[in-house]
Amino acid sequence: MNATPSNVDPITMEVVQNALGAIADEMALVIMRTAYSTIVRDSMDYSTGVCDRDGRIVAHGMTMALHLGSFPDAMEALIRDYGGDMHPGDMFIWNDPYDGGGQHLPDVYIVKPVFVDDALEGYAATLVHQIDMGGIAPGSAAVYAREIFQEGLRIPPIRLYDKGEPNRTFFKLMEKNTRIPDKLAGDMRAQVAACRTADAALVDLIGRYGSATYRQIVEELHDHAERIMRTEISALPDGTWSFTDYIDGLGEKPEPIPLKVTINIDGGYMTLDWTGSAPQVDAAINCPVPFVKSACHLIVKCIAAEDIPNFEGFIRPLNIIVPEGTIVNPLPPAACAARAIVGWRSLDLLLGCFAQIVPDRVPAAGEGGVTFPSFSGFDGDERFVCTEAWAGSWGGMRDRDGAFGIPNPGGNLTNQPVEMVEALFPLEITRYGMVENSGGPGKHRGGPAYQREYRFLSDETQMVMRSDRRRFLPYGLEGGNAGTPSWNLRNTGTADQTPIPVMPMEPVLFEKGETFRHVSGGGGGHGNPLERDPAAVLEDVLEERLSADYAADVYGVVIYGEPLEIDNQATAARRAEIASKSDENGRPAYLQHFHSELGIRDFRLIGDREMES
């Protein structure tokens, strides 16, 4: 479809667009204020949206960006099953990745059709990561699951409320299939409350304009979003570009898992082709296609020069090819509970490809996406599940250093407050913050790695987790160094310190008093490190991001005295000396400093990738 210029008053279009966005944001705030579990209330692992009468998205809430692109597939499944059979007061629930446009079983959709004068006019849609949906592991996100039947309760689109009456059978069934029934029920009630809030607001909005005018405005806004997207694509050079990266792999002996994307631009159309990515694997990191589509939608909007409205018309110029039976589009009954590792890395992959097309708009790779652990056990007689989402290290750009301590661009997730975790669970957080001498060197350096360390206070704690970017480091751009690797360390700082795989293929058990420390990947650098402003290096040393020895060995900046200052003559000589040498066949100095900081001495170089022996 070629969108035609709008005939609707542009001021009215802007007012309606902003009103719809405000409704979606209000839904997000309702969930944050009424949810029970920490992964929802504190980490904000959920999303909200408003759809038109055809199920097309017209507004996104302020939270998890990588959820949002899955709404079109999910709404298509709902309308397929219940189109023509929806009534005022109905509400629907589902999570199935293979029959419902879902992402994995913990991500549960609750959607309410919105009626005005008995005519369907739209939908209020929510997607919340539920704390536990049953299955082989607490938290329902075991990497080591082999098929979806081990991962929890699989729900096709069904009625949660029928003309306002709750489906009591479902609530009873759900209570018996989760380890934490009170938290799950509370979070689902939060979704219901958000949908009802949006219903009232949307009815009021449509009442201001009348249904016929509102529908026309919505169609014009879809077309407007398409026009902007086509203009953005048309401004890019025509051609074909590819990028390949690797996920570290599974278990004690990981084998690299390739991801590949090819982008073709032809006039006002863009094709994003994932052919060449690995076949689906016998583990739970297979990524259902809605999550990959979300990554495509997000990055295309991020690299655009102009803001693109959150109306589904913007996806019309995009052709996304995702071959079946691959890790980016698995076939049932493939396990997919830990699918987000592929989804998050898809962002880095797309950015690596766009770095060849619009290099001035793209950062080097970040930490590799959210690290996702789930700690569980018993606090006395009470079962607990603590699920967290850690992120916060971006790659450098042409004009600035990589950001630190803010969420990955794929999601507005937050790291849970230390005090909240310690108050609710038998866990003590003994270390949380930046890792000195981490991140990739560059003219603009990558964001430092973060670290978070726990001491376990219950008799036995089980950990299920996924992480990445230990072997295949976050890439640098335009002469910047790759970032630093992630680590999972048991009993750090003791004679018993041992590494844990990035993706353990079994539960990891800790006894009371043991510790676990996660160190994230550090962001990749951008530009030649020897071109970094010495004053910026001095500031990093003063702020204790870098040591003075690191500054001299890596950036060639010699710092001395009290107070500290730069020796300009020694710096010029040191930089000339570094430039005359090559570290291609040795251990780069910055990685030696980083591992010394962690007390890791036994590591080897694989190409430009560091990993433990």
pLDDT digits (tens, 9 = 90+) for 491-549: 988 888 899 999 999 999 999 999 999 999 999 999 999 999 999 999 999 999 999 99
pLDDT tens-digit series, residues 18-60: 999 999 999 999 999 999 999 999 999 999 999 999 999 999 9
Other beta carbons within 10 angstroms of residue 204's beta carbon come to: 12
CA atoms within a 13 Å half-sphere pointing along the CA-CB vector of 114: 27
> What does the mean pLDDT of the chain come to?
93
- What integer pLDDT is reported at residue 587 of this predicted model? 63
Residue 229 has pLDDT above 80, yes or no: yes
For 301-350, give the DSSP string: HHH-SS---S-GGGGTTEEEE--TTBTTBPPTTB--TTTHHHHHHHHHHH
pLDDT tens-digit series, residues 301-341: 999 999 999 999 999 999 999 999 999 999 999 999 999 99
- Torsion sign over Cα 62, 67, 72, 74: negative
Residue 138 has pLDDT above 80, yes or no: yes
Contacts of 496 (CB under 8 A, 6+ apart): 490
DSSP 8-state code for residue 555: I
pLDDT tens-digit series, residues 90-110: 999 999 999 999 999 999 999
Residue 205 has pLDDT above 60, yes or no: yes
DSSP 8-state code for residue 148: G
In this prediction the pTM is: 0.93
- What integer pLDDT is reported at residue 607 of this predicted model? 33
DSSP 8-state code for residue 225: H
Buried b (16+ CB within 10 A) or exposed e, 154-175: bbebebbbeeeeebeebeeebe
- What integer pLDDT is reported at residue 609 of this predicted model? 40
Identity of the residue numbered 226: E
Kindly state the tokens that stand for 246: 């690797």
Residue that has been written with the tokens 């490190």 in this structure: 529
Can you tell me the mean pLDDT for 406-412? 86
Can you tell me the mean pLDDT for 58-70? 88
Q: How far apart are CA 94 and CA 290, in angstroms?
A: 15
- What integer pLDDT is reported at residue 613 of this predicted model? 26
Q: Which band of pLDDT confidence, cut at 50, 70 and 90, is reported for residue 582?
A: low
Q: Does 469 or 610 have the greater pLDDT score?
A: 469
Q: What percent of the chain has pLDDT over 90?
A: 89
Contacts of 259 (CB under 8 A, 6+ apart): 244, 245, 246, 247, 274, 277, 278, 327, 328, 342, 345, 346, 349
Element (H, E) at 511: strand 508-511
Q: Does 234 or 496 have the greater pLDDT score?
A: 234
Identity of the residue numbered 217: I
Residue 125 has pLDDT above 70, yes or no: yes
Residue 241 has pLDDT above 70, yes or no: yes
Domain ranges of the chain: 10-228, 363-527
- What integer pLDDT is reported at residue 605 of this predicted model? 38
- What integer pLDDT is reported at residue 611 of this predicted model? 35
For residue 169, report the phi and psi dihedrals to the nearest 5 degrees: -60, -45
Residue 561 has pLDDT above 90, yes or no: yes
Q: What percent of the chain has pLDDT over 70?
A: 96
- What integer pLDDT is reported at residue 468 of this predicted model? 92
Strand-pair partners of 376? 385, 462
Q: Which band of pLDDT confidence, cut at 50, 70 and 90, is reported for residue 170?
A: very high
- What integer pLDDT is reported at residue 6 of this predicted model? 56
Residue 608 has pLDDT above 60, yes or no: no
- What integer pLDDT is reported at residue 586 of this predicted model? 53
Can you tell me the mean pLDDT for 214-219? 96
- What integer pLDDT is reported at residue 583 of this predicted model? 55
